[in-house]
Amino acid sequence: MYNKKPVAENIFHVGVNDRQKSLFENYLPLPEGVAYNSYLIVDEKIALIDTVDVSFADVYFAKINAILKDRTVDYLIVNHMEPDHAGSIGLLKQKYPNITVVGNAKTFDMLKGYFDINTQLHEVKEGDTLTLGKRTLTFYMAPMVHWPEVMVAYESNDNILFSADAFGTFGTNDGDYLDSCINTDKYWDEMRRYYACIVGKYGMPTQNALKKIVALPVKTICSTHGPVWQQELNKVVDLYDKWSRYEAEAEGVVIAFGSMYGNTQQLTEAVAEGVVAGGIKNVVIYNVSKTDTSFILSDIFKYKGLIIGCPTYMGGVYPLVEKLLSSIECRGIKNRLYGCYGSFTWAGAAVKQLTAFAQTMNWELVGNPVENKQAVSGEKYQAGFELGQAMAEKLKALRQ
C-alpha cells in the first residue's frame, strides 16, 4: 500500500505530502506544496525521528503500521518542535504510551508547553549517543537553525544525518523521496526561498552548525522537508554555506519596484536597460504589487545587485516596498550592491528614505539615486539608465 523502499537497510521514510495547504506558516505561498518528513529506524530498539503535521496523522500512522506490524516504537527523537513536525506527538504518545521522548532541555520545555508531556524523557546534550542495537545516533545541537531547541542526529553506520529543517525545501516529494530517483530541478529555487524566509536571519548559527556537519563523513541528509539528499548532497551543503555567509550564487541584479500610476515603472525600464547595456544579462524585475515578498527575497539571496524603486506615499515609501525593506532588514542580509530611485507628485520623500536604507544595511550605494517629479522626462529616463549602467560596472569589477 505504501512505498517501503528504505533510505538504508531498515531505515524508512514515513513522511507525507501536503498538496492542500496554500500558505506555509499562514503567509508564504506554496505553489509546489510541501512535504513533512519523518524517519523510522527499525533495530533492536525502534526509533522515530520527528513526526508530521497533525492533519496527516492518519496517513502517518498507517505508514508506520505497514512497516512495524505488531512491534512498538521505543523512542521518539525530537530534533525540532515546530508544529509541522511535532504536531503528531500527542497522538503518538497515545498510540505508544511507553515511548521515550529524546530531546534536549529546550525541547522538553516546549514539549511541556505544547503537549503537557514531562515524563518518560531522555535528555541528550552535545555529543551524546543513543544505541538502538546495530545503529547508534549521535546528537549535535544546532540552536537557531531556526528555533532555539533544534538539534541534529547522526547515524554512523550508514553516515546519515537527520538534519531537522536544515537543507529543507518547499515542494512535495513527487513519486519518490530520494534525489537520485526524481528530477530535482524544481527544488533549487524553492530551497533558496525556504532558506531566505525561514532560516535567512540566522546566518551565523547556520555557519556554526555547518562546521559540525562538514566534520562528519555524511553520505545522506534526511531533512524534514523535501527530498533525501544523496546524489546532490555536496550541492545542498555548498548552497547553505553560501547563503549563510550571504554570498551571492550568481552575477545579476534584482530590481524591485512599486508603482501606482506607471511613472516609477517607466524608471524601472530605464534602469533595467542600463544594467543590460552595461553587460549584465541576469536581470530579474519584480512588481511588489504582484509578486509575494518571499520570491523577491529568494532572488535577493541569489544575486549580488539590488535596485529598489517606488513612489512617495503618505510621506514615506510605498507600503509594499516598505514591507520588502522590513523583510530584508529582519534577515540582516549582508554584502549587497544597492541602488534606488523613485517618483513623487508634490513632496518627495521615498528616495531619501530608500537612500538611507543603504546605511541601515551597511551596503555600498551604487550610482546616483534618481528622483522623478510627476511625468518621467527624458533627462530622468537617462538618469535611470545610468544608474543601471553603474550597477553593471560594479558587478563586472567583481569578476575574477
Confidence of residue 397 (pLDDT cuts 50, 70, 90): very high
Domains of the chain: 6-244 (3.60.15.10), 252-397 (3.40.50.360)
The answer to whether the CB of 177 falls within 8 A of the CB of 227 is yes
CA distances from residue 227 to 16, 233, 376, 388 in whole angstroms, order as listed: 12, 11, 49, 39
Confidence of residue 262 (pLDDT cuts 50, 70, 90): very high
Output the pLDDT for position 3: 64
**pLDDT reading at 1 higher than 60:** no
CA distance 107 to 153: 14
287-341 pLDDT tens trace: 999 999 999 999 999 999 999 999 999 999 999 999 999 999 999 999 999 999 9
Interval 364-375 mean pLDDT: 96
209-229 pLDDT tens trace: 999 999 999 999 999 999 999
Instruction: Supply φ then ψ for residue 151, to 5 degrees.
Output: -140, 165
CA distances from residue 237 to 65, 132, 229, 231 in whole angstroms, order as listed: 33, 28, 10, 12
20-73 pLDDT tens trace: 999 999 999 999 999 999 999 999 999 999 999 999 999 999 999 999 998 999
Output the pLDDT for position 2: 63
**pLDDT reading at 13 higher than 80:** yes
Interval 358-363 mean pLDDT: 98
- Tell which phi-psi region holds residue 305, choosing left (phi > 0), alpha (psi between -120 and 50) or beta: beta
Output the pLDDT for position 251: 97
The answer to whether the CB of 191 falls within 8 A of the CB of 244 is no
**pLDDT reading at 400 higher than 90:** no
Look over the chain and give the mean of its residue pLDDT values, rounded to a whole number. Answer: 96
3-state secondary structure of 25: coil
Output the pLDDT for position 5: 85
Distance of CA 165 to the CA centre of its chain: 9
Interval 91-117 mean pLDDT: 97
Interval 247-269 mean pLDDT: 96
Query: Judging by beta carbons within 10 Å of its beta carbon (0-12, 13-18, 19+), is residue 251 exposed, middle or buried?
Result: middle
CA distance 391 to 309: 14
